[in-house]
Structures are given as C-alpha cells and as structure tokens.
Amino acid sequence: MGDASSVYPAEVSVHVLRYPVERPVRTSFGIMHDRPAVFVRVQDRDGAHGWGEVWCNFPACGAEHRARLVDTVLRPLLVGRAYDGPAAAYAHLTAATEVLALQSGEPGPMAQAIAGIDLALWDLCARRAGQPLWAYLGGTSDRVEVYASGINPDEPEHVVQQKHREGYRAFKLKLGFGHERDLRNLRQVRQLLGPGVPLMADANQGWDAAGAATMAAAMGELDIAWLEEPLRADRPYAQWQALARQSPVPLAAGENYLGAEAFQSAIDAGFLKVVQPDLAKWGGISGCLPVIRAVRAAGLRYCPHYLGAGVGLMASAHLLAAVDGIGHKGLLEIDSNDNPLRTLLSGPLSQLEDGVAQLGTDPGIGVEPDLAALREYCGR
C-alpha cells in the first residue's frame, strides 16, 4: 500500500438525497419505495477533498438520522485534529463513540456513519496523491469482475436477459418469497443461462434452520455458486455449521457482521465459503482491509456486499481491484434495479466486457458528485 498521508480535516459536510422508484425493490424483509443516499464530503486544511457514503438502505427514513450523526456527533470529533492517516482517524472516531453507541443502542448507525467518513478520507488521500484509489491501496490492475444483483422475484428471467445484453456474466436472485416460487425462479434462470454461468441466490435472512436445509438441498441440482444469508445473522454458529455440513451449495454472509471480532469468529467457525463485508455499513476501508486479509488467510473468497449509491460502489470496486491479484475470484455486486444515484456516479462500471469493468486512472474513486444536478434529477 502507498503511504497513507496524514490528514487534518477542516470541513465535513453531509448530504441526503432520495430517488423515488417506479418499480419497488423487494426483499424477504421489506420493500424499498425509494432509494436514499447519504454522501459525506471531507476537506483537508490543504484544500484536498474526498467523498464517502453511509449505508442507509433500510428503513429509508434512516438516511436523515445517519446524516445527523455525522453532522452532530462525528464532525466535532474529527475537525481540527491531525491524524497519521485515515486508519488513525477511523480508530479515533470508533473509540470516541463506543460508549455512546452502547448507551444509545445504536452501534450499527454509528458504525455506518464512521464508515462513510473513512471512505471520504481514503478518497481524499488518493486524490491528493494524484492516484486512482485502487493504485493508492497497492493494486496493480484496474479490472474488476462484476455480477448483477438485487434481481426481484417477478419475472427475473427478463432482468437477467437485459443484464446479459449489458455485458454481465454472473447473476444473483432474491429469494425468500416461498419455496415453490423461489425454486421456480432459480430453475427458469438456470435454464436460460445454461450450465457454467455463475448464478447465486440471496435469502436475506429469510428462513429458519429447517427451511434453509430444505431449500439448500433442493438447490443442489442447479449449480448455485453461493447461497447468501439463508439464516439470520444472529443465529448460533451451531445452526450455520449444521447447515454448511448438509448444504450442497456454499454459504455466504458478512454484510450484517459488525466489527472485526465478529468477522474473525465467523471465519474461525468454518461455515462460510464466501465472506461479504459492506464497507459503507461497517469499517470503511480501514476496518475492511484487515478482514479481507483474514478471509484470504483462511482460504475463503472475498466478494464485497453493496446495494447503495455510486460513491460507495466505486469505493468497493477500487478496494476489490486493489486486493484481487492472481488466483483470486472476487466479484463486485452491482444492483440491477433503477437508481440514478448509483448509475450517474459509477460511469466506469457501465462499460462491461464479458463481465469485467475497468476503473481507469482518474484520482481517488474517479467520480465527483454534482449535488445540484443529482437533486434536480431526483425531483423529476
């Protein structure tokens, strides 16, 4: 990794945007009727700046709350202090808010707000160095493999066909809408794709142990690359381990783990084949890099989770490009649902060649949000 330059944040601003969607996004636990985004801009005293994003998908009203956490709790802790680099700032913000997170019962929202700031600081440092973030983090290639995600249960084969035309070569379906319907959708898409094309499934914590075992067994004939969150993230490891022993499909999880210890415990417990931290939900880059190293040391697959807007998606892409060398098979998750707050801020990811995107050499994450234009677009 390149030298993580010192930072001295002088300004922090946070911006909430919301795009109303015509076609709601459906999951096993709820429906998204709009797409919120919380963007964070940090400026150093030397004038350098960077952008980050705070996870705020569910419930949508949480976007404003997380923005207030950034503005009223974290900004006063950050501004006017010198740090050796983004990781030092991340450690300071985490330590300074640990008791408050417990007292308020909000360790998740606090961690998400800190993650957004961390992403902005890494972007700031890469921009100041004149390097794309993937290179600043020590990567040697700007290429990332991608997959189309968030595919709803209503006629998913049509979405898969469209995304295939756009250059995608791997796909993930949402499950948790009844076993019969889930299996019918998986079979239809597998028949459409043919053998060998990566097809994944995401239950969004929608099943109990018996239901998950039944579904995993039924999916064995369909060559599913991984089954994501078949159980709730807080279920005892014994349930996950029992499912992993029975399942013909590799298990994946991680987006709902909070903290390095939680990731390490899950890795050590041995039930996962794919680990999926979401850098806007916990850890930013400073927290996720050690987790990725632990994932790789255990011989597991790192595939970042991401279903937000474009700033966090680009940060996820650059981090994956930075750590994905020869022999690694990470896949970048790209939401297939309509969200201009994603597509207008992730241009390099719209040009795919056989499932591969090139991030380019623009400094930092390579995009600069035009807030006025985005707000105008959201108001249409």
- Candidates 150, 125, 115; CA nearest to 43 is 125
Tokens 């142990």 map to which residue?
A: 209
Among 49, 163, 172, 305, which one carries the catalytic annotation?
Answer: 305
Among 163, 174, 281, 318, which one carries the catalytic annotation?
Answer: 174
Active site residue 281: no
Tokens 């898409």 map to which residue?
A: 189
Active site residue 65: no
* Contact assessment for residue 84 and residue 310, using Cβ atoms and an 8 Å cutoff: no
**Full 3-state SS string of the chain:** CCCCCCECEEEEEEEEEEEEEEEEEEECCEEEEEEEEEEEEEEECCCCEEEEEECCCCCCCHHHHHHHHHHHHHHHHHCCCCECCHHHHHHHHHHHHHHHHHHHCCHHHHHHHHHHHHHHHHHHHHHHHCCEHHHHCCCCCCEEEEEEEEECCCCHHHHHHHHHHCCCCCEEEECCCCHHHHHHHHHHHHHHHCCCCCEEEECCCCCCHHHHHHHHHHHHHHCCCCEECCCCCCCCHHHHHHHHHHCCCCEEECCCCCCHHHHHHHHHHCCCCEECCCCCCCCHHHHHHHHHHHHHHCCCEECCCCCCCHHHHHHHHHHHHHHCCCCCCCCEEEECCCCHHHHCCCHHHHCCECCEEECCCCCECCCCCCHHHHHHHHCC
| Residues designated as active site | 174, 305
